[in-house]
Amino acid sequence: MGKFYLLFHSSFLDYPVRDPDHYDAIANFLQHGFTLEANLLVGNGCRLQEFEVIGRHLPTEANPSPSLYRMTIFAPNETVAKSRFWYFLRGLKKVKKATGEVVSVKAVRPREAPQKVKNFGIWIRYDSRSGTHNMYKEYREVSRTDAVESLYSDMAARHRARFRSIHILRVVEIEKTEDIKRPYIRQLITKDLKFPLPHRTSQLTSKKVFSAKRPSTFA
């Protein structure tokens, strides 16, 4: 998959294709290219993590003690987290990787394993084919990273937004139910919520070791 990733982000139309397998890869990209990058970064067992990255401009004679900048980055690994940090810092504070340094990178993990489903609100800004848009989304997950993963999957499905085009501005846990705005989340927090049981299996009073008939769970 790594070879295809480099191939697709280059000018693959002018690429001399000699291997017949490359034709299938290019056809697959043309059909599923919008979600390929998200699958490479988030899928295949590579889960997102929350990182806290701190960096600054290199000290100079004019500014011997430059300011420190801290960001919360959601990325699959530390390398991608630092890359995204320099991308945002270059646009916000005009500090490049060549003239700056990363002071600290650490993964933010909860003290205890999450055991309860929570409501999360996420503010994002993403670049589409027509412009830049601000958006607010809500998700029900057990942790912040799971909510962000659901966000990337949702944006790729609904808006064909790539991983690199989505900028997460803020992730907040919604503690009060009256603060929930989206109807698709409100319907899940109603009182006495019930779900149908479309396929009930009967409990057998006596079980046999061997049977001449194929087992069936339908009454």
Is 8 inside any structural domain?
yes
Residue-wise pLDDT for 3-23, tens only, equals 333 333 333 333 344 454 554
Are residues 61 and 77 both part of a single domain?
A: yes
* In-domain check, residue 218: no
Count: domains in the chain: 3
Same domain, 88 and 144: no
Lookup: tokens for 46: 């590579």
Which residues contact residue 101 at a Cβ distance below 8 angstroms, ignoring those fewer than 6 apart? 55, 56, 58
The answer to whether the CB of 137 falls within 8 A of the CB of 124 is yes
Query: Do 91 and 57 fall into the same domain?
Result: yes
Among residues 8, 117, 106, which one has the least CA distance to residue 54? 106
148 vs 27, higher pLDDT: 148
- DSSP secondary-structure letter at 145? H
Question: Reading across the β-sheet that carries 132-141, which strands appear in turn?
Answer: 132-141, 118-127, 166-174
Q: Which CATH number covers residue 71?
A: 3.10.20.10
Same domain membership, residue 101 and residue 124? no
Give the list of residues 6+ apart from residue 42 with CB closer than 8 angstroms, or none.
48, 76, 149, 152, 153, 163
More confident residue, 34 or 137: 137
Determine, yes or no, domain membership for 201. no
pTM: 0.70
Q: Are 145 and 98 found together in one domain?
A: no
| Statement to judge: residues 122 and 180 lie in one domain | yes
Q: What is the per-residue pLDDT across 53-100, written as a single tens digit (0 to 9) for each?
A: 999 999 999 999 999 999 999 999 999 999 999 999 999 999 999 999
Integer Cα distance of 142 and 119 in angstroms: 8
Range of the domain at 26: 2-13+20-42
